Structures are given as structure tokens and as C-alpha cells.
Structure 1
């Protein structure tokens, strides 16, 4: 704790402010520059021919005006050193030599870094990038002088001085033109050099820190004096949830103030999270990702005044002021309160719950959304009255969606404290059942605050309990479903994985002549592969029929399996079939729980068959000495990999909970369903035959595709390759295991002794017959079944 400091007769008790700070904004700019750098390099590699043409045009233009090139060379070469030196002299005269020292550190790091990076590229480590940056000439990939000048300019924050900024960048542009005219740099090299220099400058700023420009407590006291307050004491208290400083100020008349200080360097705190929410959530629910200091001040002040005008119990805002250019303050009347988080659950009675909802109702009548109704923003004063704080998060003139979000948030928080039944009852008494019914579609974890979402992770029963009690109050309410998310993280992962898979498939296609593959394949074997592919759909229908005690028509069930092949285009392999089959069973009048149990039973038995067949075929193949393919050793590796995966899943609590919850949902009623199947020998035989036939038909299809290109390989070896690749494809998040299956099949066949080109051709033919060809009849089956309300 620092010694108290005096401002006239006022002592400010606060910790000693650090002389230097690592600003989050510098780190964010560093990462943003790296992202832009990566995008530029990737785009330049893709559009290489366009850049070559552009360079030729610029070079031709420079040759048309040789005088301009010479002037640029003269001015740029001299000024690129003179301007930084002049800025350094100006800063030293203003006693800001520390900033110049930071710039020199960045310049040295930039020069050394660009030189080492250039040597690494010249060494031939990344040949495509070297050719891109040098144009295959004997020049530096990155200009060391230019990199150090850019790093220096960034580190001294020359961008904050408009005149110097214009002069510096004009000089840099002339220098680049001079280098380009003399064929000493390429366009990609110039852009990459500038970005590398900026990245080094921002990294230096964050590494060494920046001078602390936050006004200390005595500046806060001085600003309060300008607002006609008479402070006699000042003490720093705990920061708020957004990291803003807070002070408890004693006044001469015996009253007190609660002062919140908004620091400019804290404006970007939490920016990555806010940007992620901005991208992910519906535009009506998101907050602005970043605001200026003054906008933040005005926003909080407006919300505070609006809440007072609405008659809500909130601390009165008594004054606002800027503190220089780096901070601003808001002065509230001080009320002795304690947050609801510190109130024991048994002290939260029905009267207190009613008070909380009455305060929220006052805000909602005036279209004010609080947006942070949690235990740290709901307080109780000494008389037990409710006081709402933290107005900065709020919205004035809020839309219906934001008001409903407030109700959903408060319902959830109070349910965590007193239970869903009491929370819903108290809300209904004040807000009415209609308001709760309108908020019910927004009872989604994504709509709640971070703290509430974390608490729900340990109380998953809360949201379903709230919904049940609201439905009991308003059983016939019809409220449209609200989609808050633009996309889910799982969707993003699927898109990225699909892009990688498409790259893998296209790279495989580039290695073979597709026309040659189709024309040289033995049509007899190809026909056998096509028949086997079709038979796999019949086998899947038999398997499903076997696990459903109720009667299912065979050919309609076969059509459902074809429809699932169409759905695989937009869903992972292990998801599409399960969803389609479950929907089909429900449409056949089977209870949803029984439908899920039947599909779960079929998946479980399929998994058992899969593992058993893999072990059996691997053992048979491993005991066959004439072949060079020895899955007995591969089987050991597979088993070790599976064991490591199982240990990792069981050892990480979040993964363990995720897997067990998913398995519990899928297999919760599987055992009773299996007992029903075992009571019918015909059903049991149908289920086992169908399950076994699926694997045999796919293996036969792959074996026939290999034989179609004139290569012989044991059926058991093909079975091991297929079973392994199929397991990988089921785990892949791409539609139909795209990319993962092809890569695994080709790799397995190559290990089995099949030449790579032939293995690639065989796999492409196999995937054409089993994945791509069934899409069109699958779409027709899907449309037909929907038209006849079978899906």
C-alpha cells in the first residue's frame, strides 16, 4: 500500500499506481497484424500471376517517368533516416526520451529479426515464399532498414501525431518506390516488410510496457472539486466487474460519493470476447464491441438518469467529468448496501423476491433493459430495500427482445438461489404469466451472463424446471422460438473441417486422371461394387427392422436409408443416419423414447460388431505370413491409440461429462429395448444379419474397386483397412467423414502393399459408389418420404 497522497488537505488512500502498463490494445494490435500478415501471404501465394502482372505494370510506369523515380530515390533514401531522427530530437527536447528509447529497442529488434528471417528464407526452408518475396532475384526477402524504421515508428506511437504521421508515411512510400524502381524489392516483400515492422513495434510496446497515463486519485479529487464537491477523504475500493477503478469519497457535509473512473486504456479489455459474441449472436442481442471513452461515459450517464426518471431504486448520479484526455468519472450518491450474492439463500423470502421483480417492472415499463441482473448488481440497503446498480450495461429505448432477455436472466439467477418454483411464482405475481411465457424461448444458456452460465454448469436441471413451471402457469401459450445464435461453435468446426476435407479430396483428385479412372476400371468388378453398395442400404434397413419390435415395411425402410445418404452431405457421418432413422420411427407412431432407444440399440450393437470384426480380421491377417501387410502390429498401435484416447477422455472432467451425457441420452433406454428384441428370435436374427451384412457389403465394395484396377489383395486386409477408416470417418466432424475417410483408406491400402496411385483410384471409385452416387436417389427418397409424411 502506498503512502497517502495529499491534494490540499485531502489524503487519497490507494495502492501505488505502476509506472508502466502492458496495454491490452497493443497485444490486440499485434495479433491483428499477424492475422493480416498471414492473409496477405496466403492471398499473394494464390494470386501469384496477378502480382507478377501488377509488378510489370508498375515497373513500366516507373520507366516512363525516370525523373520521378530518381527524385523518389533521392528523397526517400535520405528522409527515411532524417524523419525518425528529427522526431527523436523533438521528443528529447520535450523530455520524452523514454519513448525514443522504446523506439530504438524496436528498431534494433526489427533489424535483427528481419535479417534472421531473411536468412532463413534464403536458406531454402520455404521456397515458394522466398520466390514470392524476392522475385527469384538476389535481393533481401525483407528490407532490414525499412523493417526497423516501421518498427521504430510504431513503437514511438507516431500515429498519434497527425503531422509527423503524414510525413513519416510519405517518406516510407517514397523509399518503397525508390527500392521498387531499382528492382530491390517486390510488391509482396514491401507489404510483408511493413506488416512485420508493425508487428515487431506492437510486440515491443507490449513487452516493455507503456507509461501509465491513468490519472491518480488526487486528479480524481481535483475533478470533483471542479464539480463543486468538497472532498475531505478519498479511498480506493475494489474495482467493478469491468475493471474500472472505484473510489469512496467523503464530503465536507458528512455525505459520501461512490466514484467510478473510466480509464481509456481499459476500453479494449475483454474485446476478443465481445467481438466473438458480436459475430456469433443475433444483432439485436449483442452489445457494441468497443466504444470511445466519451461514448461510454454518456451511455452510463443516460442510463442512470433514465432509471431515476422511471422511479427505480438506483443510486443517484450527481455529476460526470472528464479527467484530462485519458479518463472520465461518474459520481453517484453513496448508499450503504450489500450485494445479493452475500445474502444467504434462507434470507431471500417471498417479499424480497417481489421487491426485486417490482424494480425490474419499473424499468420495463419505461423500456429500459438492465442487461446484468445478477447478484452483484442487485443490492439491499440497511432497511432491506432493493437497490439496482451497474447502469453501464443497460440500454434505453430497448426492444422487446432485450426486455425479455432481462426477465429470462433474472428468472434463472433467482432459480439458482431459491429454486425454479419460487422464482417463477414470484415473477408471475408481479410481471404476470404472459411476460414469463414470452421469456420462455430465451431460456438458453447463450443468452445469460457469464456467471450465470457457469453456475448452470453445476445445476443443469434449473432451466428445464423453469420451463415446466411456466408451462404449468400458461399451458396454452404459443410463443415463437427465438434463435439467438447466428451459428454454433460446432457449426464453425464443421465448416473448417469440411474445408480441410475438400482440400484433401481435391489434392487426391489432382493426383489422378478421373476420366482415365472411369474408363480403365474393369466394368465387371465395378458392377459388383455397385451391387454391394446398393445391398448395404438393404442391410441397413434389415438392421433397423430387427431392433424395432413393431412392424416396418422393408422397402420404405430402404428408402429411409437412401434418404440418410442425402442428409450426410450436411451432417457428420455418425449423426445424419441416427437423426433420419429416429424421425422415421416417430412418424411410424413409435414413442420418441422408444424410437431413440431402438436407434441407440442398433448403434450399440453396430459398435460391438465393428470392434469384434476388426479384431477378428486383424488376427486372421496378422497370422497370414505371405502378405507384407501385418495388421497384428497395426492392431497393437490401434489398441494403444484407443487406450490413450479413452484415458484422455476419462481423465479430463469436461470431456468425461460431455461423453457420458451424450451416451446417457442415446443409450438410456437401450437395455429394455434389447430385451424386447431378444424375446423374438426372428427379430434377433434379422438385426444380427443386417448388422453383419452392412460391414460385409462395404468391404466387398472396396475389394471390388481394388480388383477393378487389376490389383489383388486379401479380403481380410481390405476389411481391416475399411473398419479402421470407417471408425475415423465416424469421428470426423465433416459431412459423411469427407476427407478423413479418403485419407485413412488410401493410407491403409498403401500400408497393405497397394501402389499409391492405384489405391487413390480405387478409393475414389469406392467413395463415388457409396457416398456421391447415392446422393441423387437419396434426395428423391427424402422428397418422396416427406411428401408422404414419413419423415
Structure 2
């Protein structure tokens, strides 16, 4: 296929994908507009100091996501500045929440946008795989810690243990699949899989990631640490939201509620986790001694900060990504993407 044809096909694919994400988010927002309107009352009666801390913690999550990618790109010899990576982080987290795909919705977007700022395709895929490993490593560790904390407080139930076990299977399966595809290299797939163009394309893409990056344990540890900071910041945000509303809940209770609600959203099919996150977080906080009214109000304020406020910039940045021309493979065969100064 010619470069012009590749640009057309790539642009059409990007428009369909990004458009689907936007429609999913808009439908969710419209169906739950009453909740959005109710957030104004919560903000009006919140303590400014704690509310400011919650807002700062949420900003730090995007920096942590970008820092993990920056570590991979720096190790690969293609360092990038944090600001463009933070913009990509906002769109990726937006896509992850809009698409019910176990946190995988924004991964395709990540590779596409990294290539758009001049990162080679193999390095972009390596950043994707390493970020997935780091994300699920931190996630799985915190899920186990959460269950242990519930057990020590005599609050663990068979349902909670079952959910954590199921989640751990997912946490091992997703990065495990990516590593398995990487280890196969260019080996042929079974005939029935070869006929699925998307699977064949995924294998070809994953096979391009540099193996030395995936074997760098120090790099994997740094990326996992960056992802761990995200979960801690989210738990801290819930803690600050509860304090902002005058509730003396502990950080431990906030951490347990945040992780349990996140697991339910990860395993569920509901876009944006609408309803399932709120119900799980509220029920968990109530189980740990927080009043129902305070648990529900704190969870709603948390959702304002982690979902509804980023929704607008996420849509704006994604629309910008849709308008940006897709990168075209370099004639030599390496995917060089567009010029690096395109992101300025």
C-alpha cells in the first residue's frame, strides 16, 4: 500500500476509534447528568483546604502516568518532555474510562499518539507493554494488601475474596498475553487466528518492541512505582474528599474503598464505571464504619475530580488527536512517525 493509502486508512481507523470513545463518554454523561448537577452542591459546602489537596493529588496522577512513559522512552534513547506526555495521559485515561475493556481502552491510543510525537513504533509498543506490566503489578499488589487489611479488620467476605481472585487472574492474563505475543516474534499463528486481521496486526506490532527494554527489571520497577503512586493519589483524593465534607474517615478506609471499587469497574462492562463505582465505594466505606450519607457524598465528590472534571479536557485533546494526521512508516521500514516538534 502506498504512503498516501496508508495515511488514508490510518486516518479512517483513528476517526472511527476516537469517535466511538467520544460517543460512549457522551452517552454516559447524558444518562447521568443529574449526578453532575448535584456535584455543585457538594463543592459549595466542601472545605477549601481539603478540596485543594484533592485537586492537587489528581493532577499528580497524570504526572505519574507520564513519568512512567518518560522512563521507558529515556531508557530507549528517545527522551520526551513531560508536557506532551501529560496531554497523552489525559486522553488515555479518558479513553480507559469511556471504554469498558478492563483498562485497555486507551492502549491503542497510546501507541498512536507516541508515534505522533516522533517515537518509533517499536519503542511506543514497548512503552505500552511495560506500562501495562507496571500498572497491573501495582494494581495486583494493592488488591492483595486491601484484602489483607479487610481480613485484619474482620470485614473480608467470600464475595470480596472471589472478586480479588478473579481480578488477579485478569491482572496476570493481560500483560501475560502481551509478553507471550512478544516472545513469539514472527512465528505463525494457528490458521484460525491468522484469518483474523486484527490479531495478525497486533502480533506484528508487539513483535517490534525491543526485547532489552522488557528485560530491564530496574525499568519495570520504576514504572510499577509510578503506577503505585497513581493508586495512592486516588486513595488520598477520596480521603481528602471525605475530610473536605467534615467526615473523619481514615486513609486506610479510603484506600480499601478505592481499590475495591476500582476492581469492580475493571471487571464490569459499564462505560465510565457509572453506578458500579459509586455503589461499591459507598458500600465499602459503610462497611468500614463511615455513615452512608458521608460515604455517598465523598464518593460523589471523588467522581467529580477523577471523572467529570477531566471529561472536558479529555474530549478536547482527543478531538485534537483526531485532526492530527497519522504517522506514516519511514521508507527504510522503521516507523519514524511525524516530526518531533509536531507536539509543540
Using the size of structure 2 for normalisation, the TM-score is 0.67
In structure 2, distance between residues paired with 1:735 and 1:523: 31
- Counterpart in 2 of 1:619? 148
- Counterpart in 2 of 1:636? 161
Q: What 5-or-longer segments of structure 2 have no aligned partner?
A: 172-192, 325-340
Distance 1:712 1:666, change over 3 A: farther
Q: Are 1:561 and 2:89 counterparts?
A: yes
- Counterpart in 1 of 2:185? none
Q: CA deviation at 1:694?
A: 0.9
- Counterpart in 1 of 2:128? 599
Q: Which region of structure 1 is more displaced relative to structure 2, 514-523 or 635-644?
A: 635-644
In structure 1, distance between residues paired with 2:30 and 2:203: 30
Q: Deviations over 1:583-640 (max 9, x none)?
A: 2221233333442232122112211221111101321342146xxxx13655423246
Distance 1:668 1:779, change over 3 A: closer
In structure 2, distance between residues paired with 1:561 and 1:577: 9
Q: Are 1:552 and 2:77 counterparts?
A: no
| Structure 1 residue corresponding to 2:116, chosen from 584, 587, 610 | 587
In structure 2, distance between residues paired with 1:705 and 1:692: 20
- Write the mapping of 1:17-416 to structure 2, written as runs, cut at 5 A: none
- Counterpart in 2 of 1:726? 262
Query: Retained in 2: the 8 A contact 1:546–1:685?
Result: no
Q: CA RMSD in A?
A: 4.3
Q: Are 1:768 and 2:304 counterparts?
A: yes
For residue 273 of structure 2, give the secondary structure of its aligned residue in structure 1: coil
For residue 597 of structure 1, give the secondary structure of its aligned residue in structure 2: helix
| Structure 1 residue corresponding to 2:213, chosen from 658, 672, 676 | 676
Query: Retained in 1: the 8 A contact 2:143–2:164?
Result: no
Query: Retained in 1: the 8 A contact 2:94–2:311?
Result: yes
Q: CA deviation at 1:532?
A: 0.5
In structure 2, distance between residues paired with 1:716 and 1:733: 28
| Structure with greater proportional strand content | 1
Distance 1:667 1:528, change over 3 A: farther
- Counterpart in 1 of 2:282? 746
Distance 1:569 1:678, change over 3 A: closer
Q: CA deviation at 1:524?
A: 1.4
In structure 1, distance between residues paired with 2:201 and 2:149: 35
- Counterpart in 2 of 1:736? 272
In structure 1, distance between residues paired with 2:258 and 2:204: 26
Query: Retained in 2: the 8 A contact 1:498–1:734?
Result: no
| Structure 2 residue corresponding to 1:518, chosen from 39, 43, 52 | 43
Query: Retained in 2: the 8 A contact 1:572–1:733?
Result: yes
Q: Are 1:705 and 2:233 counterparts?
A: no
Q: CA deviation at 1:732?
A: 4.1
In structure 2, distance between residues paired with 1:720 and 1:779: 30
- Write the mapping of 1:392-471 to structure 2, written as runs, cut at 5 A: none
Query: Retained in 2: the 8 A contact 1:598–1:673?
Result: no
For residue 301 of structure 2, give the secondary structure of its aligned residue in structure 1: helix
Q: Are 1:534 and 2:70 counterparts?
A: no
For residue 272 of structure 2, give the secondary structure of its aligned residue in structure 1: coil
Query: Retained in 1: the 8 A contact 2:163–2:264?
Result: no
Query: Retained in 2: the 8 A contact 1:543–1:686?
Result: yes
- Counterpart in 2 of 1:420? none
Q: Across the two proteins, how many residue pairs are aligned to each other?
A: 289
| Structure with greater proportional helix content | 2
Query: Retained in 2: the 8 A contact 1:565–1:771?
Result: no
In structure 1, distance between residues paired with 2:242 and 2:294: 8
Distance 1:592 1:529, change over 3 A: same
In structure 1, distance between residues paired with 2:34 and 2:291: 17
Q: Which has the larger radius of gyration?
A: 1
Using the size of structure 1 for normalisation, the TM-score is 0.32
In structure 2, distance between residues paired with 1:501 and 1:526: 23
Distance 1:670 1:618, change over 3 A: farther
Distance 1:547 1:516, change over 3 A: same
Query: Retained in 2: the 8 A contact 1:545–1:551?
Result: yes
Query: Retained in 2: the 8 A contact 1:600–1:667?
Result: no
Q: Deviations over 1:145-204 (max 9, x none)?
A: xxxxxxxxxxxxxxxxxxxxxxxxxxxxxxxxxxxxxxxxxxxxxxxxxxxxxxxxxxxx
In structure 2, distance between residues paired with 1:644 and 1:577: 21
Q: CA deviation at 1:499?
A: 5.9
- Counterpart in 2 of 1:690? 226
Distance 1:539 1:780, change over 3 A: same
Distance 1:585 1:500, change over 3 A: closer
Query: Retained in 2: the 8 A contact 1:586–1:595?
Result: yes
In structure 1, distance between residues paired with 2:156 and 2:277: 18
Distance 1:688 1:761, change over 3 A: same
Q: CA deviation at 1:704?
A: 1.0
In structure 2, distance between residues paired with 1:711 and 1:478: 59
Query: Retained in 2: the 8 A contact 1:539–1:694?
Result: yes
Query: Retained in 2: the 8 A contact 1:600–1:670?
Result: no
Q: CA deviation at 1:557?
A: 1.1
